[in-house]
Amino acid sequence: MKRFISLMMIVFLLILIVLPDKTFAATPSVSAASAILMDQDSGRILYEKNAKDVRKIASITKIMTAILAIESGKLKEDVKISDTAVRTEGSSIYLKPGDIVKLEDLVYGLMLRSGNDAANAIAEHVGGSIDGFVFLMNQKAEEIGMQNTHFANPNGLDNKDNHFSTAYDMALLTKYAMQNKTYRKISGTKSYKGWANKNRLLTEKYKYCTGGKTGFTKKAKRTLVTTATKEHQNLIAVTLNGPNDWDDHINMFEYGFKNFDTTVVLDKGKINNINQKYLKNHIYIKNKVVYSLTNDEKDKVTIEYQLLKSKKEWKDQKNIPEIVGKAVIYLDEQKLKTVPVYFKYAEMNEKKGWFNFFVKTFLIHIGVKNDG
């Protein structure tokens, strides 16, 4: 009997070792030297591997080129193709000197076919010169918060040593670009005027993929940025030097969709349960706040409202400032985000006052006194 019990205990222990502990989600299998999975809406990092290591990035550079072209407001302008543009080495959409092409078409050629000639033509038209455009690229990178990035050309070729970024920075860039409706449309287009998109995750491999950009050079190896949406959750994946990048991205997306959910942690609208004098029933949040959470984390979110002290002059609502405090969102004891709390002037009372004023004025005009 003792031998039987001992045997059963050994079997039980082996089962515990072999079977995964379901309270902890296994991290995705990733071949890339650097990788990141980011929630597009909140910016939370769901998975990372050497995400801030500086590396060559190849043609995913063109995400920056595309968004600058879109934001220039010149998409409908005609671009005359220069000799310099068509001499660019590498992938091409086969432009010829003297061709007249819409800037919008060049951006499609840039994103779908990774045309280096298109990249240079865009740079010359939008920036005045390639050097001028590179200045704009680095200016925008600084604005977005890409602290470990420097652009030296609009195409990602290895002809400059000072052209680099990180998986994290490229995720920040993609998060920024995906806020633009036109960028989302172009990035997610499978084919355009005979050009098939090189992003196989979008065209055939992953039904939830919504866009992205491929890249390859001898020094950078395979680089890839993709986006994916399932139900209400939007994710960004980046890999640098990823020999098996298609599967890397699928594995990361599946990990994100399975273990996290984009959750509204603070809804927009009126804030209830605030009894502070003059502010009660008049304060609100302008925009909802979302954050990517596991199921276990959802009950651990708390909100703290930090409001200005009421003043006597606030008896006249016109003296109350527009922003009267802030809402601080915590996960456990970690601060996630701080958003302003706004005061809403009692417009209904104001409208009623204007209506009464109009009625009184009208009655006086026709000869009726206030006392009848």
Q: Is the pTM for the entire model greater than 0.95?
A: no
Which candidate in 34, 114, 165, 187 is catalytic? 114
Determine the pLDDT at residue 20: 39
Q: Is there a catalytic annotation at residue 187?
A: no
Q: Which CATH superfamily is domain 34-259 in?
A: DD-peptidase/beta-lactamase superfamily (3.40.710.10)
Q: Is there a catalytic annotation at residue 114?
A: yes
Separation of alpha carbons 360 and 114, rounded Å: 70
Q: Is there a catalytic annotation at residue 59?
A: yes
Q: How far is CA 319 from CA 316, 345, 349, 350, in A?
A: 6, 10, 16, 15
Residue 292 near residue 41 (C-beta atoms within 8 A): yes
Cα–Cα nearest to 256, from 242, 225, 235, 231: 235
Domain ranges of the chain: 34-259, 263-348
Tokens at 235, concatenated: 């994710």
State in words which class domain 263-348 has. Answer: mainly beta
Which candidate in 49, 56, 62, 198 is catalytic? 62
Q: To 10 degrees, what angle do helices 116-127 and 130-144 make?
A: 90
Q: What is the mean pLDDT of each run of 10 residues along the chain (372 residues)?
A: 56 45 66 98 97 98 98 98 92 96 98 98 98 98 98 94 97 98 98 97 98 97 98 97 98 98 94 91 94 94 95 92 96 94 71 52 52 42
